[in-house]
Amino acid sequence: MCDACGCHAPTHGHNHQHGHDHAHDHDHQHEPRPNGNDSLIVDINRSLFAANDALARSNREHFDTDGIVVLNLISSPGSGKTTLLEHTIDRLGSEIRIGVIEGDIETERDAERIRAKGVPAVQLTTGGACHLDAAMIHRGFHQLQREPGGDQLDLLVIENVGNLVCPATFSLGEHQRIVLVSVPEGPDKPAKYPKAFTSSQVFLITKTDLLPYFDFPIEEATREALSLNPALQVMALSAKTGDGFEAWINYLRSLVKSNQERTARA
């Protein structure tokens, strides 16, 4: 039930609006409502999703006006998003001005890990909801701008709440969505959570140092992901050993550089 995931609009677990311009597409079925108001619920969801998309477009205008590249990291819990950010800041923090918005159901822990690296970070806690939405990011972005260094960014990374379902259906206004799968999770995630892969630009396989201990055929996972979305850029890395990190860092550098060139031309 949507009620269980905190996602269903009329009984929403947190104080904001959803907004896809299409029907809710969780991998669960809605129970028929005894009072027959399913079509009303579909209509409400549709308009709420449309509202989110409108806010996401407005966020994108903010980001473009300020010349900031924005990434949205989505993955299952624990696949290595915060660790990836810590190592990215170590390698790129002196070259590119990075800011982070952390999304979690509870706790400030991830933002504290990022602040410990000397980078401005805002923690958004959803209080039960399984994803960030565009309204939260709008508030979080302005909150970040009030942090020391938060008003002068080249790159903003949003770490979404850990799950591969709802975050894939809510645009935040990001330029690039990055879906992470860690080696211990197994190679079947593209087939099981297709929306996360069809809506992303990058597929990042993490924790490759664990390949000797887990059955994760990288070619097979890559093939499945590309069959869903041939435009996906696929990278594999280990934050622990640094293997594959160079390609990730170069990808971030080139995103920021082309954004700076575009901003200079405008």
Ligand X SMILES: Nc1nc2c(ncn2[C@@H]2O[C@H](COP(=O)(O)OP(=O)(O)OP(=O)(O)O)[C@@H](O)[C@H]2O)c(=O)[nH]1
Q: Give me the residues that bind ligand X (CB under 6 A), please.
A: 75, 77-83, 110, 162, 206-207, 209-210, 238-240
Give the helix, strand, coil percentages of the chain, each rounded to 5: 45, 15, 40
On the 0-12 / 13-18 / 19+ scale of CB atoms within 10 A, 121 is: buried
Q: Pick the closer one to ligand X by CB: 28 or 109.
A: 109
- Using CB distances below 5 to 8 A depending on partner kind, what does residue 131 bind out of Zn ion, ligand X, none? Zn ion
Map residues 3-32 to x or -, x wherever contact with Zn ion holds by CB under 5 A. ----x-------------------------
Which H helix or E strand runs over 234? strand 233-236
**Strand 202-206 with 233-236, pairing:** parallel
Q: Pick the closer one to ligand X by CB: 80 or 173.
A: 80
DSSP structure class, residue 202: E
155 with 99: CB under 8 angstroms? yes
For Cα atoms 176, 154, 130, give the angle at the middle one, nearest 5 degrees.
Answer: 45
- Using CB distances below 5 to 8 A depending on partner kind, what does residue 166 bind out of ligand X, Zn ion, none? Zn ion
Query: Using CB under 5 A, which of the segments 50-58, 131-139, 202-210, 225-233 binds Zn ion?
Result: 131-139
Give least dist CB 79 to Zn ion, A: 9
207 contributes a contact to Zn ion by CB under 5 A:
no
The one-letter amino acid code at 104 reads D
Q: Pick the closer one to ligand X by CB: 191 or 214.
A: 214
The one-letter amino acid code at 114 reads I
110 contributes a contact to Zn ion by CB under 5 A:
yes
Q: Pick the closer one to ligand X by CB: 48 or 165.
A: 165
Tokens read off for 178: 């990055």
- Using CB distances below 5 to 8 A depending on partner kind, what does residue 77 bind out of ligand X, Zn ion, none? ligand X
Q: Pick the closer one to Zn ion by CB: 82 or 200.
A: 82
122 contributes a contact to Zn ion by CB under 5 A:
no
CA distance 149 to 68: 13
φ, ψ (nearest 5 deg) of residue 99: -130, 155
Neighbours of 57 (CB within 10 A): 12
CA distance 51 to 111: 28
86 contributes a contact to Zn ion by CB under 5 A:
no
Give least dist CB 223 to Zn ion, A: 28
Map residues 158-187 to x or -, x wherever contact with Zn ion holds by CB under 5 A. --------x---------------------
Name the residues that contact Zn ion, by CB under 5 A: 7, 81-82, 110, 130-131, 166
